[in-house]
């Protein structure tokens, strides 16, 4: 876009800066509930961008209205899952002309379970600059209030809708050595908890609802506690679920020895150690050392691991 065609962005308050933006895509994070959860830089970008694009144009206009940011004749272009293929070329063409393009989804970070990814990928591949304007995301807000370990976590997105696919999906993520964050429809939370009980009823689980909003609620307990909680049957609003990592089962040395004693008479040390380690979820080398000492005492045969 030529400098001539640009209206100088209006200075709105001491807080909002109004310089022209460098060309490129700006992925603007927006509130997930409380409207004031927006950064000053996000407001600067919405004020100054040449082109505004949004998952829902009404949501963006409303947000700008709340924060007193005028459109100044700028159109808000829709960019969502159903029109992305049609809408993307126009945004790419604007970037080609040197425009700054701000994109926001309905809430939170526009690439987290929202349509911004392909746009960012294509813009980067075309050699234009992609800028993050970081801010809220329900996944991190939920992790923050959950009380679960935050040193390692995985965002798994929405579970699949059918029961069998969901069970396999849950089984897969639930075995990770990390806190697992998932988005779920409030109508399906109960079902997901019931399925989680089939996998691990004692798993510490958190249901975080309506974060940063008036009816925010954070419910913590084991999967079976929560499945039995009458509130789960009638949840309203937006929900994030979090699962703690599996607790390391404490395996007594006697259990390992008993399992090895059963096998060593008719297996090699290596095979017995491998099988017992797998069965009890223990490091193979540790079990092998024990098996070797048993074998040396005459309880089995020795060989190489």
Q: What are phi and psi of 216, to 5 degrees?
A: -55, 140
Please state, as a whole number, how many other Cβ atoms lie within 10 Å of the Cβ of residue 212: 16
**Which residue number, 132 or 257, has a Cβ lying nearer to ligand SAM?**
132
**Which residue number, 101 or 138, has a Cβ lying nearer to ligand SAM?**
138
- Euclidean distance between CA atoms 208 and 127, whole angstroms: 39
Per DSSP, the three-state class of 50 is: coil
Residue ranges in contact with ligand SAM by CB under 6 A: 32-33, 105, 107-109, 112-114, 137-139, 183, 208-213, 238-240
Q: How far is the CB of 38 from ligand SAM (least distance, A)?
A: 13
The number of angstroms, rounded, from the C-alpha of 237 to the middle of its chain's C-alpha atoms is: 18
Q: How far is the CB of 52 from ligand SAM (least distance, A)?
A: 18
Q: How far is the CB of 231 from ligand SAM (least distance, A)?
A: 15
Q: What are phi and psi of 240, to 5 degrees?
A: -120, 135
Which positions ≥6 away from 55 have C-beta within 8 Å? Answer: 78, 79, 80, 104, 105, 106, 110, 114, 115
Q: Residue 74: is it exposed, middle or buried by C-beta count within 10 angstroms (0-12/13-18/19+)?
A: middle
Q: How far is the CB of 13 from ligand SAM (least distance, A)?
A: 27
Question: Minimal CB distance to ligand SAM: which residue?
Answer: 108
Which pair of structure tokens corresponds to residue 55? 């998952």
**Which residue number, 137 or 268, has a Cβ lying nearer to ligand SAM?**
137
- Euclidean distance between CA atoms 28 and 43, whole angstroms: 9
**Which residue number, 142 or 256, has a Cβ lying nearer to ligand SAM?**
142
**Which residue number, 181 or 282, has a Cβ lying nearer to ligand SAM?**
181
Q: How far is the CB of 37 from ligand SAM (least distance, A)?
A: 10
Q: Residue 81: is it exposed, middle or buried by C-beta count within 10 angstroms (0-12/13-18/19+)?
A: exposed
Q: How far is the CB of 105 from ligand SAM (least distance, A)?
A: 5
**Which residue number, 174 or 239, has a Cβ lying nearer to ligand SAM?**
239
């Amino acid at each position: 876009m030529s400098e001539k065609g640009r209206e100088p962005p209006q200075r709105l308050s001491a807080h909002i800066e109004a310089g022209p933006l460098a060309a490129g895509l700006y992925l603007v994070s927006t509130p997930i509930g409380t409207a004031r959860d927006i950064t000053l830089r996000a407001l600067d970008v919405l004020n100054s961008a040449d082109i505004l694009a949004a998952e829902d144009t009404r949501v963006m206009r409303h947000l700008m209205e709340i924060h007193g940011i005028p459109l100044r004749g700028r159109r808000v272009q829709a960019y969502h899952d159903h029109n992305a293929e049609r809408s993307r070329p126009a945004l790419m063409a604007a970037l080609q002309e040197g425009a700054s393009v701000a994109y926001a989804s309905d809430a939170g970070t526009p690439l987290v379970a929202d349509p911004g990814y392909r746009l960012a990928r294509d813009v980067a591949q075309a050699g234009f600059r992609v800028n993050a304007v970081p801010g809220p995301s329900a996944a991190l807000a939920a992790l923050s209030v959950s009380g679960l370990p935050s040193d390692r976590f995985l965002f798994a997105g929405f579970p699949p809708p059918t029961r069998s696919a969901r069970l396999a999906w849950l089984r897969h993520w639930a075995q990770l050595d990390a806190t697992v964050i998932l988005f779920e429809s409030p109508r399906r939370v109960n079902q997901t908890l019931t399925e989680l009980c089939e996998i691990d009823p004692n798993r510490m689980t958190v249901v975080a609802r309506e974060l940063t909003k008036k009816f925010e609620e954070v419910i913590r307990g084991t999967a079976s506690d929560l499945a039995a909680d009458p509130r789960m049957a009638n949840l309203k609003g937006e929900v994030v679920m979090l699962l703690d990592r599996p607790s390391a089962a404490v395996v007594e040395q006697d259990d390992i020895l008993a399992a090895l004693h059963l096998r060593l008479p008719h297996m090699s040390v290596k095979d017995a150690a491998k099988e017992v380690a797998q069965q009890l979820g223990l490091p193979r080398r540790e079990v092998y050392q024990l098996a070797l000492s048993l074998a040396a005492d005459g309880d089995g045969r020795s060989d190489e691991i």
